[in-house]
Structure 1
Amino acid sequence: MLSEKSRPLIAATLPLVGSRLGAITPNFYTRMLTAHPELLNGLFSRANQNNGEQQKALAGSIAGFATALIANPDLIPEQMLSRIAHKHTSLGITEDQYSIVYKYLFEAIAEELADVITAEIAEAWTEVYWLMANALIKLEKGLYAIQANDKVWMPWRVVEKNPAGTDAITFVLEPADATAVTVARPGQFVSVRLALPDGLLQCRQYSLSADVESTTRRVFTTKRDDGGEVSPVLHGHVKVGDVVELSNPYGDVTLDGAGPVVFATAGIGCTPSASALRSLAAAGADREVLVLHAEKNLDAWALRDQMTADVAAIDGAQLQLWLEEPAAGFHKGFMSLEGLDLPANASMYVCGPLPFMKAIRNQAIEAGIPSTKIHYEVFGPDLWLAGA
């Protein structure tokens, strides 16, 4: 809990600190990665460092955590931290690394706030940092403990590499050694780690798109991102027969066990919903399911055949499709929930570009779906949490 001594100091300085986090976080990353360049090799994303997304996500998480502590000083917002913990464990973050982050983050804070910072303010923000860090350490230890093995990275061999829509590929992999395999849950992701042409190891999280319950297969579908570094190598250089490293499955946006469900997705954001649909179809589920998807055109839909087949296999499932390039029998333009008959008491899962998710979440709340039943998955650093 946040101490009575620190609470008024955090409340008073949060607006100032928040306004300068945009300078503090790049300063922090520069300091830390200069002193510890090994952290960029297989842990931090060079692409997200270059485009500023990681800095924005860190700033948003710090500000969001401090805001939550001010509102409820006796509670640690574990639900908010759960998303971060799942991303951390998929990369193999360790407890000792929090001390490294603390050192360089607070050096950056001291420099960027040199005109206003006092020993008391620094002490208060130190308390906030370690409340957040220790809560994450606890969550991450629990996530590591439930895996079927104690490894961060395991070798998996690519056995299929299948085109999937425009600029997307579905990879099917099998274990390349005897390491015990954790059974995933629909909606979860794995991190993929591979060497770039310059030799640097880089990681990227990809949602499992099918067969999540299998212990002999991992299936994920990726869209080539020319601004990234991992997907171009996966698409252009990794061949059938090659071995890549995968993490155990993680992710807290998973399909619950009962009641109506609505999937609202756009583009490659369909992948976690596709794995959930495949699981429902395989289990012979009779839940009411409404699948809403938006694409540029029919050819662009990465998992079109899989998702339409699974919708057809589920009693009570319906599919509605929006296309920017119109085609007979489908909605034209961008997705809208206006006029749709959404199932009562439905859980809703949203995934796609951030503006899409924000718009659909607002429309869903207007339509009567409680915010607590609307779940979203962000690919990459969580800029929604960051307020971007």
Structure 2
Amino acid sequence: MSLLFSPYKLRSLTLRNRIVVSPMCQYSGEDGFANDWHLVHLGTRATGGAALVIQEATAVTPEGRISPQDLGIWKDEHIDKLKSITGFIHSQGAVAGIQLAHAGRKASTARPWEGGKQLNTAMGGWTSVAPSAIPFYENDIAPEALSETAIEELIQAFGDAASRALKAGYKLVEIHAAHGYLIHEFLSPLSNQRTDQWGGSFENRTRFLLRIVDAVRKVWPDELPLFVRISATDWVEGGWDLESSVKLAAILKEKDVDLVDCSSGGLAPNAIIPAGPGYQVGFAETIRKEAGIATGAVGIIVTAAQAEAILEEGKADLIFMARELLRNPYFPLEAAQQLGDEIEWPAQYARARRPLK
């Protein structure tokens, strides 16, 4: 059997293969509530053969949404619909995960297909928050700098969200500390210019994330895994970089984080990112080798052969896929045939099973 379709153990869980549905915002909820779009979107990827289906960035507070249509898990009323989603994913042999997030200064924007611009309060938006009152775009309304009390409340909000995620049936939590959102804003010296215990030194800038990890682990069962997604570099001189990511990853391992999901960028609009097939895989490889923690590779991974080579060369432990699974939710079924592996198909689709020509 190929490595891509070999099982992978995470604490009490065993993933049926190494393909992960990366969290992808759908901008299709209302007041944080999931609906049938999310059920079908996520459920289809489970029937398509992926091992782990991670729900999109799900806000831990209303102000933590990227857009007014983002999903949320800041109140108990959100749980019922989420239960139907996790139940279906698990019925298909996949594992349901959730990404817990706060958008920070990149919150309160229109959906991408509606322009993606910042929304003011008259347009249905709200005042965003950040470590420092520095806007993402120069002409944006500046966010409010968080008080120490507000920081403590947000740490608790992540813990409370993890408790709700457990009640909703998720078996894995990923903390979103990437792509220029709130936790990443604390990590990077480009966006964090605080002079108190939450800014300045590496130890201070990582404090917010590490406290959130502690808050989540306090309520998240020991037998269930915890991931953290990071941007391994800001792609800007003087910003967060790979060396800092390796150092952070080693600390996360000590705090019982099971895997670092290695993405990049998103913090600085002027970053020049050399995007191309597998352009972020090197980050996963370096962090895996130097920090001694499992990693996930993500970023323009589009073929079975490419994914298999990443695993064979020891560059990552799991393959996170996004846009390719939007194009083809049944990619895993096809990839298995391409690699010569026999995997289980949904019984309802068995009549379509045949070798690829």
Q: TM-score, normalised by structure 1?
A: 0.29
Greater helix share, structure number: 1
Bigger radius of gyration, 1 or 2?
1
Q: When the two structures are superposed, what TM-score results if normalisation uses the length of structure 2?
A: 0.31
Determine which structure has the larger strand proportion and give its number: 1
